[in-house]
């Protein structure tokens, strides 16, 4: 965080300052801001956020022991540390982020990119950050820091030397993206796709469209909207961009895209394709597994080239990326038995993309195995969408379908109903039972996809399988 006096910090969040020890209102703080006391170091600011399982106020003493310079709290804590007391620390965190980013932007040439979409946000964020970091100091979220707490914490990492801030905006309901993006008014808004992820929280696909379009409405006047030409709902956001006076830059596979992919070839070691923008066409070998990441790479290139990075530099840097993020199409195991752990998140779109990738990467003599768990946050669409996954797995010819967890059972039932009844499809109530089966079932040449939402916990099953077959 930039240097602020305790008085300035209190003013930014509209809080009451109570100093401790030798501190005065003019005492300067400039450390990291975090809600996790385990990550606090000397000079940092600890945010005592109440939670469902515990209360951050209980960890203020631990933050003091770690060297914290100040604490943002909702009630005064009996600890030797200067505290700023506010009614709601999450709201205060957003107010502080708005102040810090606004101050940095006013002082220098900070460029801000916001990314949203039903799938692909984290991968695109990581690809774009990799391109931009060679241009200047770049701040981007750790993991999927894209909610009301994670997004402001990322914003608060900017300093006066930061050139690029890449923010990832997720949401489980209407208005959340508008609030988060409104804190910084991005120069560039990137919309990847509008799909069924979180459809239960939004209330359907049209409500999801409205929520994702909030990012386009939040881009500052004269800014840029980077839109997916292959997604009809994203393409329908162009009139919103026009109303806002924004430029539009298209990415996709069609000939009308400003940044286009052709000659796509998917293999077990990544995806090869050519990238065309303007009069320039260059080959790209993307080592991140899965054809669905072609669009994410195009979005990153479209954004970076709009910010002044050359196409050749974009490609050179993207080719150094081996893994988008842990638990996202992460290759584990060995060439003998390859495990693809993609169980950090799942939606109908990402589940379909992962299954299609599994079907594409096998060679003669190799067998496809899909280990599937539940997709969360689908609401009234859950049963239908789980049925669709079971149907797709059969239609793609996946040779072993292993369904784990009662919330995912409909995938198994649908697979059986579609003709997968001779032990091609099996069901297990928990990951331990599935692990015991798989360690005896998997054989040389198998290519295994592990896919579920985070809440299903199959990412840890994927890790265990990776270790067993390494």
Dump pLDDT digits (tens) for 407-454. 999 999 999 998 765 678 999 999 999 999 999 999 999 999 999 998
What stretch of H or E contains 225? Answer: strand 224-228
The gap from C-alpha 138 to its chain's centroid, in whole angstroms, comes to 17
CA distance 67 to 69: 6
CA distance 130 to 127: 5
Residue owning tokens 């914490």: 153
CA pseudo-torsion sign 306, 180, 346, 228: negative
**pTM of the shown model:** 0.85
Question: Is residue 298 within 8 Å of 251, Cβ to Cβ?
Answer: yes
What mean pLDDT is reported for the chain?
93
pLDDT at residue number 311: 98
CA distance 270 to 287: 4
Backbone φ and ψ for 102, nearest 5 degrees, come out as -60, -40
CA pseudo-torsion sign 3, 71, 39, 43: positive
pLDDT at residue number 201: 56
352, two tokens = 């379909």
Dump pLDDT digits (tens) for 188-210. 999 999 976 555 555 678 888 99
Dump pLDDT digits (tens) for 108-125. 899 999 999 988 898 999
Question: Is residue 215 within 8 Å of 181, Cβ to Cβ?
Answer: yes
pLDDT at residue number 171: 77
CA distance 45 to 48: 10
Which is more confident, 268 or 221?
A: 221
CA distance 20 to 10: 14
pLDDT at residue number 38: 92
**Please, what is the Cα angle at 299 between 463 and 230, to 5 degrees?**
100
Dump pLDDT digits (tens) for 290-323. 888 999 999 999 999 999 999 999 999 999 998 7
Over 90: is that where the pLDDT of 229 sits? yes
For the chain, which domains are there?
A: 4-86 (3.40.1390.10), 92-318 (3.40.1190.10), 330-468 (3.90.190.20)
pLDDT at residue number 60: 97
Q: Which of 337, 144, 120, 122 is nearest to 234 (CA)?
A: 120
Q: What is the CA radius of gyration of the chain?
A: 24
Question: Is residue 114 within 8 Å of 189, Cβ to Cβ?
Answer: yes
**Residues forming beta bridges with residue 28, ordered by sequence position:** 5
Over 90: is that where the pLDDT of 5 sits? yes
Over 80: is that where the pLDDT of 32 sits? yes
Q: Which of 198, 100, 185 is nearest to 144 (CA)?
A: 198
Position 41 confidence tier, pLDDT thresholds 50, 70, 90: very high
CA distance 338 to 368: 10
Compute the CA torsion angle 166, 457, 465, 123 (nearest 10 deg).
Answer: -10
- Concatenate the DSSP letters of all residues of 132-181 into one string: HTTTS-EE--STT--STTHHHHHHTT--TT--EEEEE---SSTTHHHHHH
């Amino acid at each position: 965080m930039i240097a602020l006096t305790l008085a300035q910090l209190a003013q930014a969040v509209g809080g009451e300052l109570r100093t401790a020890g030798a501190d005065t209102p003019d005492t300067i703080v400039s450390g990291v801001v975090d809600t996790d006391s385990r990550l606090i170091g000397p000079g940092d600011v600890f945010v005592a956020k109440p939670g469902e399982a515990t209360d951050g106020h209980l960890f203020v003493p631990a933050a003091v022991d770690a060297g914290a310079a100040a604490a943002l709290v909702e009630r005064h804590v009996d600890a030797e540390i200067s505290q700023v007391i506010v009614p709601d620390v999450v709201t205060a965190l957003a107010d502080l982020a708005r102040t810090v980013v606004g101050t940095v932007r006013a002082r220098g040439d900070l460029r801000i990119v916001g990314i949203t979409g039903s799938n692909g946000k984290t991968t695109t964020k990581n690809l774009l950050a990799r391109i931009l970091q060679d241009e200047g100091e770049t701040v981007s979220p750790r993991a999927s820091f894209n909610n009301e707490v994670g997004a402001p914490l990322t914003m608060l990492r900017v300093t006066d030397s930061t050139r690029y801030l890449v923010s990832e905006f997720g949401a489980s309901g209407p208005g959340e993206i508008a609030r988060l993006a409104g804190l910084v008014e991005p120069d560039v808004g990137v919309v990847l796709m509008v799909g069924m992820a979180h459809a239960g929280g939004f209330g359907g696909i049209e409500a999801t469209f409205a929520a994702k379009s909030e990012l386009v409405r939040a881009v500052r006047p004269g800014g840029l909207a980077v839109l997916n030409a292959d997604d009809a709902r994203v393409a329908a956001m162009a009139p919103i961009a026009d109303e806002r006076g924004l430029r539009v830059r298209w990415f996709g596979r069609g000939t009308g895209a400003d940044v286009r992919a052709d000659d796509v070839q998917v293999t077990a070691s990544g995806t090869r394709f050519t990238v065309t923008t303007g009069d320039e066409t260059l080959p790209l070998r993307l080592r991140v597994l899965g054809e669905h990441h072609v669009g994410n790479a195009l979005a990153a290139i479209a954004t970076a080239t709009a910010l002044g990075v050359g196409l050749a530099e974009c490609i050179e840097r993207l080719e150094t990326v081996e893994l988008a993020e842990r638990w996202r199409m992460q290759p584990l195991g060995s060439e003998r038995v390859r495990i693809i752990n993609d169980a950090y998140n799942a939606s109908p779109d990402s589940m379909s993309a992962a299954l299609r990738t599994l079907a594409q990467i096998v060679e003669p003599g190799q067998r496809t195995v899909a280990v599937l768990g539940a997709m969360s946050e689908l609401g009234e669409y859950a049963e239908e969408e789980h049925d669709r996954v079971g149907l797709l797995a059969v239609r793609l010819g996946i040779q072993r379908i292993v369904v784990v967890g009662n919330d995912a059972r409909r995938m198994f039932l649908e697979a059986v109903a579609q003709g997968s009844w001779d032990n091609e499809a099996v069901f297990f109530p928990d990951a331990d039972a599935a692990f015991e089966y798989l360690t005896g079932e998997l054989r040389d040449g198998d290519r295994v996809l592990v896919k579920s939402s985070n809440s299903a916990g199959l990412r840890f099953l994927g890790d265990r399988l990776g270790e067993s077959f390494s």
